[in-house]
Chain A
C-alpha cells in the first residue's frame, strides 16, 4: 500500500516568515503533485514534479522532488495571509488515481 506522510499537520506563523512542508513515503511515485484547498472548495493543483531532484518555483513557492522520488517539499518564502489554506501533496498512481497525504493546515497571521 502506498502511503504519503505529510508534516507538519498544523502550522501557524506570522506574516513574512518562511516555512517548509514535507511529504515522505517509502514508495516511489512517478509524479508528485501539490494542491491547495480552501474551505468549502475542492483542491486546486499548484504544481506537478516528475523528475528526481526536480525543483520548480511558483512566485514565492518552491517545490522539490527528492532524488529517489519518494519525498517532496514545499517551501514558502515571506508568507502572506492569502497563503492560508490546506496544502496537500499527492502521489500519482496506476490509472491516474492520486494518493494524498493528510494535509498541512497553514494559518498566516497579519
Chain B
C-alpha cells in the first residue's frame, strides 16, 4: 500500500556535476509524470511516460535533462552538468490509467536539488 517514493529526498551538487533522481511509482500505475517546482511556484511539467514509452518530453528545459523508465516501473531523471538554475524540487507522480486527464495523479514527496 505504499505511495510514490522518491530518492534521494535531498541532493546537493556542485555546478557541473551530474545527478540522478529516482522515482518508484505506485505498483501497477501505467502513467508516470515528472514535474519541476521552483520555490514559491506551482509545479511545471517536464515529461510523461506511459509504461516504458516516453510520450511527451516537451517540458524538459534543455538537452541536459534526460528521463527513462526502461521496464515501465521505476523511473530516473538525470541532469547532466548541473547549473544553479536547476535548483528546485523535482516531483514525480503516477496514475493508474492512460491518457485521460481525469485520472488522479499521486505525487511523491519530491527531491530537493540544490546546485552550488
Contact = CB atoms under 8 A, between A and B. Distances in A.
A96 B101 contact: yes
Interface in B33-64: 33, 35, 40-45, 48, 55-56, 59
A4 B97 CA distance: 25
Nearest to B102: A31
Contacts, number: 74
B113 interface: no
A87 to B, nearest CB: 10
A102 B40 CA distance: 8
B107 interface: yes
Given A48-B104, A102-B42, A103-B42, A96 B109 contact: no
A103 B40 contact: yes
A43 B43 contact: yes
A43 B107 CA distance: 6
A40 B43 contact: no
Interface size classification for chain A: 20 to 34
B73 interface: no
A45 B103 CA distance: 11
B95 interface: yes
Given A41-B110, A88-B42, 14 more contacts: A31-B102, A42-B109, A48-B102, A48-B104, A92-B101, A94-B56, A95-B101, A96-B103, A96-B105, A97-B101, A98-B33, A98-B105, A100-B35, A102-B41
Interface of A: 4, 6, 30-31, 40-45, 48, 50, 88, 90, 92-103, 105
Interface of B: 4, 31, 33, 35, 40-45, 48, 55-56, 59, 91, 93, 95, 98-110
